[in-house]
Amino acid sequence: MTSEFSLIDQFLEPFDRRGDGLLLGPGDDCALVQISSGMSLCTTVDALVEGVHFLPDLFGDEEIGHKALAINLSDLAAMGARPRWFLCSVACPNDQTRLSRLPGIARGMAALARRAHCLIIGGNFTRADRLSLHITAMGEVPIAQALRRDGARPGDHLFVSGTIGGAALGLQQFLKGELPDQTIRQRQCRPEPRIELGLIARQFASAAMDISDGFLQDIGHLGARSHCGFEIDFSAIPMEPGIVAAGFSPPWALRGGEDYELLLTVPPAKADAFVDACAAKNISVTHIGAAREETQIHWKNAPKDLDLAAGRGFDHYI
Amino acid sequence: MTSEFSLIDQFLEPFDRRGDGLLLGPGDDCALVQISSGMSLCTTVDALVEGVHFLPDLFGDEEIGHKALAINLSDLAAMGARPRWFLCSVACPNDQTRLSRLPGIARGMAALARRAHCLIIGGNFTRADRLSLHITAMGEVPIAQALRRDGARPGDHLFVSGTIGGAALGLQQFLKGELPDQTIRQRQCRPEPRIELGLIARQFASAAMDISDGFLQDIGHLGARSHCGFEIDFSAIPMEPGIVAAGFSPPWALRGGEDYELLLTVPPAKADAFVDACAAKNISVTHIGAAREETQIHWKNAPKDLDLAAGRGFDHYI
């Protein structure tokens, strides 16, 4: 049994990993390369595949286009980058059912692109058995302000944006044949990349990442890259309202994926100013704990059944 | 019946097409954005899909990896850009037959990346029904030297690199169950991006593009973008040896795709210097005609059966 992460490591093995201009290679939300004195280009690629990342009968055309771009802009946000440009590689079956969805997909993508001031600059069309969209997004971030995963230090305050678990709840309801309510549908089908939060956070935070594979898995990645652990107050985590009413447990929500919220660590001396800056822009962030020396997660106020061994998030290959 | 090009136009319709820093958007081999004074980032995305761009039983693993990167580097070469970085989005079925090919694919890709001094900086893995590789490549080119498709002027000399038709011949032989000889196999499975030629040409040429959809279709694109036509000496076109011996006609070869050679136009005053610079580096370029005011192609020494109405190249959707 091969995990997605060992596949990535194995794939990268034969490649040169260092070179002129490379500031940060694979392993973070984005790569960083130097493009001029003090400024870096921040790039990421992510795919949305029919039947894997979206259910073709349940997602609207515009939702598909929105989500394909949003998951990439979320990676830029997690680095504190300002979105600039993107390229979209479309694979589409040569049948009228799928081809007729492309204009709506483009409209959904274009609406988000316009709001994010991110220009489409290129792309590709190819035939394939399933509809899929592979987007490469590029942004700019001052080198000194880029929010990497490896910057958290013991004592830094831990924040999370928005709410957790809504996207997973939406997917579960779709799979059970139920229709999620409007809020939950948005969380699954129209995740909102936290671009403005990233631009604020880059002035304060020591590290950041977006939550795409589930809170529990991703907090583990953040700790691993920063060589630290976390103390987390379980009861402080902003769960999506309706998780329990829908019959799911909060720990289940922490294993769900696709939240596209940001995890952020902020040095104690800057935490108040960060909270104030977010409040001034009406951006929801919640203080849920702190980074610590010991590399495990130490939970406060956690339910007894919080099974961390089963705390894996989404993996394509297990 | 929708063509690939009208699909692209339709997809792009809802997007903003202008913005800060954008020098050249969709429609050329690459997009160009300004990243510092005088320098542009040159980006392109292209996909290699199992059963569409490669035959999984006939291509070796390393050939698949090589070709996926080569077709992107060819686009950079066509702009005169120096390759710098790339991202690779891999879609792979969760079966051992396909997963076991990934290390060989990575080796083939890494070998070309090393030769081209192009670093992998990011990527993505996702499950899918078929194996496919979507690569976004980035290079740098001084803004004033970028080789766009729209720069050809009447009177410019027309050159083509290498030979034409070998990749199409290789594909035909594969499809007929024959094994191509080593040269022809290389043309189909291991196209060589003309990076060094692009770097020379950017000092001399007025326009360039790579030949990926077939000579006849692509010369039409070059003329359309430059608002000119061409006079071409059919007998001067460097056909791949063996086309006729294998039972195919030279016009057939001009409709085949995947040559990944460069078409170049060079102002008359610079043509000799360009030819000398190529000769000094042992790079094969052939003078085959000239750009002209009238937008049609005027053939000299063409066979009577050269059917230009049937002169379409490869299109995914017709």
Q: What's the pLDDT tens digit per position in B141-188?
A: 999 999 999 999 999 999 999 999 999 999 999 999 999 999 999 999
Contacts of A11 in chain B (CB under 8 A): 90, 102-103, 105-106, 123, 125
pLDDT 10s digits, B258-311: 999 999 999 999 999 999 999 999 999 999 999 999 999 999 999 877 765 444
Q: B8, B45, B107, B141: which to substitute to probe chain A, counting the most A Cβ within 10 Å?
A: B45
Residues 6+ apart with CB under 8 A from B228: B152, B153, B154, B291, B292, B293, B295
Structure tokens at A235: 């009861």
Among the partner residues B14, B87, B113, nearest to A136 by beta-carbon distance: B87
Residues 6+ apart with CB under 8 A from A123: A87, A88, A89, A90, B8, B11, B26, B45
Among the partner residues B21, B45, B123, nearest to A123 by beta-carbon distance: B45
pLDDT 10s digits, A239-284: 999 999 999 999 999 999 999 999 999 999 999 999 999 999 999 9
Alpha-carbon span A54 to A228, nearest angstrom: 34
End-to-end CA distance of chain B: 7
Q: How far is A222 from chain B (nearest CA, A)?
A: 18
Among the partner residues B102, B111, B130, nearest to A7 by beta-carbon distance: B102
Q: B52, B136, B138: which to substitute to probe chain A, counting the most A Cβ within 10 Å?
A: B136
Own/partner pairs, A112-116, CB within 8 angstroms, 24+ separation: A112/A65, A112/A66, A112/A69, A112/A70, A112/A73, A112/A193, A113/A69, A113/A86, A113/B15, A113/B16, A114/B15, A114/B16, A116/A69, A116/A73, A116/A83, A116/A193, A116/A195
ipTM surpasses cut 0.90 = yes
Nearest to B153 by CA among B268, B297, B76: B268
CB A108 within 8 A of CB A47: no
Nearest to B287 by CA among B275, B276, B277: B275
Query: What is the fold, at CATH topology level, of the domain defined by A10-144?
Result: 60s Ribosomal Protein L30; Chain: A; (3.30.1330)
Of all residues in chain B, the one with the smallest CA distance to A34 is B35
Provide mean pLDDT across the span A188-209. 98
pLDDT 10s digits, A83-124: 999 999 999 999 999 999 999 999 999 999 999 999 999 999
Alpha-carbon span A215 to B274, nearest angstrom: 58
The H or E element containing residue A170 is helix A166-175
Nearest to B272 by CA among B208, B221, B204: B204
Nearest to B119 by CA among A121, A26, A41: A26
Residues 6+ apart with CB under 8 A from A203: A145, A277
pLDDT(A308) > 70: no
Amino acid in position B21: G
Residues, chain B: 318
What distances in angstroms separate CA A301 from CA A235, A252, A313, B161, B233, one per listed residue? 6, 16, 22, 69, 81
Alpha-carbon span A164 to B85, nearest angstrom: 35
Query: In the beta sheet, which residues pair with residue B162?
Result: none
pLDDT(A311) > 80: no
- Burial per residue of B22-56, b for 16 or more beta-carbon CB atoms within 10 angstroms, e otherwise: bebbbbbbbbbbebeeeebbbbbbbbbbbebbbee
Q: In chain B, pLDDT over 70 holds for what percent of residues?
A: 95
Among the partner residues A13, A22, A106, nearest to B119 by beta-carbon distance: A22
Chain CA centroid to CA B157, Å: 20
Q: Is the Cβ pair A16, B114 closer than 8 Å? A: yes
Contacts of B43 in chain A (CB under 8 A): 85, 87, 121-122, 136, 138
Q: What's the whole-number average pLDDT of chain A? A: 94
Alpha-carbon span A180 to B120, nearest angstrom: 40
Contacts of B91 in chain A (CB under 8 A): 47, 49, 132, 134
Alpha-carbon span B175 to B171, nearest angstrom: 6
pLDDT at B257: 92
Q: B124, B148, B149, B258: which to substitute to probe chain A, counting the most A Cβ within 10 Å?
A: B124
Structure tokens at B222: 């070059």
Q: Put the strands of the sheet holding B262-266 in their side by side order.
A: B207-210, B262-266, B157-161, B285-292, B229-233, B297-300
* A–B interface: beta-carbon pairs under 8 A: 234
Contacts of A110 in chain B (CB under 8 A): 14-16
Amino acid in position A131: L
pLDDT 10s digits, A36-77: 999 999 999 999 999 999 989 999 999 999 999 999 999 999
Q: Put the strands of the sheet holding A229-233 in their side by side order.
A: A207-210, A262-266, A157-161, A285-292, A229-233, A297-300
Alpha-carbon span B260 to A91, nearest angstrom: 21
Of all residues in chain B, the one with the smallest CA distance to A24 is B121
- Are the folds of B11-144 and B147-300 the same? no
| CATH number for the domain whose boundaries are A148-300 | 3.90.650.10
Residue B256: Cβ-neighbour burial (10 angstroms; 0-12, 13-18, 19+): buried
Alpha-carbon span A202 to A79, nearest angstrom: 8
Provide the pLDDT confidence category of residue B26 given band limits of 50, 70 and 90: very high
pLDDT at A316: 67
> For domain B147-300, which CATH number applies: 3.90.650.10, 3.90.1420.10, 3.40.50.300, 3.30.470.20?
3.90.650.10
Q: Classify the phi-psi angles of A35: left when phi > 0, otherwise alpha if psi is within -120 to 50, otherwise beta.
A: alpha
Q: Is the Cβ pair B25, A117 closer than 8 Å? A: no
Nearest to B290 by CA among B299, B302, B279: B299
Among the partner residues A41, A105, A106, nearest to B41 by beta-carbon distance: A41
Alpha-carbon span A223 to A219, nearest angstrom: 6
Structure tokens at B205: 């040429």
Provide mean pLDDT across the span B62-91. 98
Residues, chain A: 318
Amino acid in position B60: G
Structure tokens at B227: 């608002």
Specify the residue for token string 């693993």. B61
Q: Is the Cβ pair B103, A10 closer than 8 Å? A: yes
Q: What's the whole-number average pLDDT of chain B? A: 94
> For domain B11-144, which CATH number applies: 3.30.300.10, 1.20.1250.20, 3.40.50.2300, 3.30.1330.10?
3.30.1330.10
pLDDT(A309) > 50: no
- Burial per residue of B98-112, b for 16 or more beta-carbon CB atoms within 10 angstroms, e otherwise: bbebbbbbbbbbbbb
Contacts of A103 in chain B (CB under 8 A): 10-11, 13-14
Q: Tell me how many degrees the CA angle B96-B102-B107 measures, rounded to the nearest 5.
A: 150
Structure tokens at B92: 């792979």
Provide the pLDDT confidence category of residue A306 given band limits of 50, 70 and 90: confident
Q: Is the Cβ pair A91, B47 closer than 8 Å? A: yes
Among the partner residues B47, B87, B119, nearest to A126 by beta-carbon distance: B47
pLDDT 10s digits, B211-230: 999 999 999 999 999 999 99
Q: Tell me how many degrees the CA angle B154-B157-B162 measures, rounded to the nearest 5.
A: 140
pLDDT at B310: 42
Q: Is the Cβ pair A127, B317 closer than 8 Å? A: yes
Domain spans, chain A? 10-144, 148-300
